Amino acid sequence: MFQRILVANRGEIALRILRACREMGIETVAVFSEADRGAAYLELADETYCIGPPKPADSYLRIDRIISAAEIGNVQAIHPGYGFLAENAHFADVCRSCNIEFIGPTTESMQLLGDKNSARQIAKQVGVPVVPGSEGLVRNEAEAVRIAHQIGFPVLIKAAAGGGGRGMRLALNDLSLKSAFQQAQAEAEAAFGSGELYIEKYIEHPRHVEVQILGDNYGNVVHLWERDCTIQRRHQKLIEESPSPVLRPEVRQAICQAAVRLAKAAGYTNAGTVEFLVDKDQNFYFIEVNARIQVEHPVTEMVTGIDLIKAQIRIAAGEPLPFRQEDIPHRGVAIECRINAEDPKRNFRPSPGKIEQLIVPGGFGVRFDSHAHAGYTVPPHYDSMIGKLIVHQPTRQEAIACMRRALQELRIQGVTTTVPLYQEILAHPAFVSGQVDTTFVERTWPSE
């Protein structure tokens, strides 16, 4: 096992990783930007190094500075968390060439799955359903028109190098397809340095269901069931839950097994998430793989009892998975609300600043993962998530009641938060009955 790990991230996920390391008897090195200097969670690390100015491009994205801290701190491994360098295959490569284990998948499977078009091809090869669309990349407008006529409008043009909704364009007819194709190409070229595009049929009113997987270095892959992340706004997830409130048992089995087949085919190791769209008839379609730990991982931890951060570290250290698929339970219902310092009444504008008061909820089945505290100043340079409130209860009805109670107890003063919006969502009949799609929040609480 590793003796010392560097945490290449900040905020709640840095704290989450520091906590796991402490419990495992692993020493830690934390890095911080000038905006995070003095943050309380950094005191939980054995050593800390400043890696530069507040802007991510000058600090948390600086491979050279992070590797320098790792060398000086004499660590054997780096945990990247999520965001920043977590899915950067070049960073994983540099770590390993410096003889530092990158706690995540191999460079090869990151590259294979990071390209959405090649991920789609692998899925097809192993019988994982994909959205009807182009065989491979689409070179020009004429080809795009031909494919759109085959599969039928509306279609979505997606960037092979994109993901998470970036670089997508909807086309309703020939005319809009031509301009959408050019816009998507220019945008993808500018954003990702690659203008490669593919086309999919547009699935209307889908749910977003994702499957957590773990793979070890010996070819074993298991799934840890699904999370339903349908409650989101502009590609930002707001509420996640497990199990999905709607999937029929046979669909649930099929989607989880499909995720495992895909991971095995890609030689996937460590923790990852396979994302699917689910249509109104519960047909499911693979869309992309997230090759990292995710914000919403606690939902899966609560229902399975498996600590995903510890699992990541053990896998990276070369340990085989300690459980078989049939030993992975799913107990009860877990729900997570992302608490953001944003103003839902002002188009979710970030609300950074000093938290004057913070009262954290507790009690049976309540978990609050956060680096925030009274007196903490939320810096304006990073995403505005200040914590995650997670509940675990025997039934969904009880989980919703528990979350509403916990949100009432949660008191945050000094910054505006998304808490009042969550109270409205949790009280909404459509959410309570599970009858929602990915447009629910934007339709029900429209803002500019």
Residues within the interface to ligand MV4 (CB under 6 A): 131, 156, 164-165, 200-203, 206, 208, 232, 235, 275, 277, 287-288, 438
Which is catalytic among the residues 16, 292, 314, 338?
292
349 is catalytic: no
Which CB atom, from 154 or from 379, has the smaller least distance to ligand MV4? 154
The neighbour count for residue 25, using CB atoms within 10 Å, is 8
The single residue listed with the structure tokens 């905020």 is 11
Dist. CA 198–CA 159, nearest whole Å? 6
| Nearest distance, CB of residue 136 and ligand MV4, angstroms | 16
Which CB atom, from 36 or from 187, has the smaller least distance to ligand MV4? 187
| Nearest distance, CB of residue 379 and ligand MV4, angstroms | 27
The answer to whether 70 and 100 are in contact (CB under 8 A) is: yes
Which CB atom, from 207 or from 371, has the smaller least distance to ligand MV4? 207
| Nearest distance, CB of residue 166 and ligand MV4, angstroms | 8
Which CB atom, from 132 or from 267, has the smaller least distance to ligand MV4? 132
| Nearest distance, CB of residue 96 and ligand MV4, angstroms | 28
The answer to whether 355 and 349 are in contact (CB under 8 A) is: no
| Nearest distance, CB of residue 160 and ligand MV4, angstroms | 13
For 306-368, give the secondary structure using H, E and C: CCHHHHHHHHHCCCCCCCCHHHCCCCCEEEEEEEECEEHHHCCEECCEECCEEECCCCCCEEE
**φ and ψ at residue 348, rounded to 5 degrees:** 60, 35
**φ and ψ at residue 258, rounded to 5 degrees:** -60, -40
DSSP 220: -
Which CB atom, from 25 or from 446, has the smaller least distance to ligand MV4? 446
The answer to whether 334 and 390 are in contact (CB under 8 A) is: yes
Catalytic residues: 292
